[in-house]
A and B are shown apart, each in its own frame.
Chain A
Amino acid sequence: MRVLTYGDIMDVGTSVFTAVAKLDGAKLILSFSGVIRVDNPYKHLENYINDLEDELKESVINEIDFDFRELNFCNSNGFYVIMDITEIIYNRLSAPVLVKRLKDDDWQQETLPILLNIDEPEINNRTTFKEFSEL
């Protein structure tokens, strides 16, 4: 397993959110954890997003996981960053996407599919949701 890129949001000296892109063979794993409460998360994650685009150019990927299970809170401004990141993946790669999410989390159930643009047939056809219980 190789870490491709890593981004985080610091709030009062503590990391409150992390986004990690890892490559496990030909599987790309993007995991999100913590909380997004800051006003401008893009400012914190701009380098991560740019690095992610660069890394994808040099990687062979035939499977993709988005793991949201540890993303405990996402404010409205965080939505745009989630959209930016997942849009890059959907646009740059054609591999099937597995979305891991919590079955009892309102935003992951109701809003996350909107952020992934799941109503688009091309995205819908290659996306599968897997539901998990919170530990």
Chain B
Amino acid sequence: MITEEDLQKTNISLSYSISPVQNIICDLSALIGDFCEELIGSFYTRVVSKKANVVITELLNNAIENMLDKDSGIILNVKINEKRLLIEVMNVVNRTQYEKVKAQVQKINSANNIRELLKETIQQRRGKRLKGGLGLIRVVAENKFDISVDYKEPFLIVESQISLGGLN
């Protein structure tokens, strides 16, 4: 008989590639996020599957909203095994955009108090009613993922991962 413990040793790997981005008129992040939550939730706990949904949603939205080249595509990779959940989003950007995202990731990763950074950012952005801009901080402060960023021209790669030890 398969136990819950056995289920949480399941290896799942998904990859989506969609182009051109200008054709994405549906709520793509919701579609994929909700599907991944259902799929991962069939094997892992709700805590894990909900984290996957939120992080996929935030990273995909972030990428889609900041795409300059609407003819290019977007790639999402999701991998989960008993040790970790990894979510990676790749999209085409120029070096200036990459530097901007890199600076934001560095600011997040070097924050002494990530909750305080989240609070300050929410308050600042609320004052101006600015759309978005909280996704990467939420991934770290709220969902407790580690994030990193890389550039393999022309692709910006934002990788987020979390150890599942203690979450299952």
Beta-carbon nearest neighbor of A37 in chain B = B30
Ranked nearest first, the 5 interchain pairs of A and B with the lowest CB-CB distance are A76-B134, A110-B142, A114-B119, A106-B142, A104-B47
Which residues of chain B are near A105, meaning CB under 8 Å?
50
Contacting pair A76 B30 (CB below 8 A): no
The verdict on A111 contacting chain B, using a C-beta distance below 8 Å, is yes
Contacting pair B50 A79 (CB below 8 A): no
Q: Which residues of B contact A (CB under 8 A)?
A: 27, 30, 46-47, 50-51, 53-54, 57, 61, 115, 118-119, 122, 125-126, 129, 131-135, 138, 141-144
Shortest distance between the CB of B150 and any CB in chain A (Å): 24
Q: Which residues of A contact B (CB under 8 A)?
A: 11, 35, 37, 39-40, 42, 73, 75-77, 79-80, 83, 104-107, 110-111, 114-115, 119, 134
Q: Taking A104-B46, A106-B143, A107-B54 as contacts, is the C-beta distance between A114 and B122 under 8 angstroms? A: yes
Q: Taking A37-B27, A37-B30 as contacts, is the C-beta distance between A76 and B138 under 8 angstroms? A: yes
Contacting pair B54 A80 (CB below 8 A): no
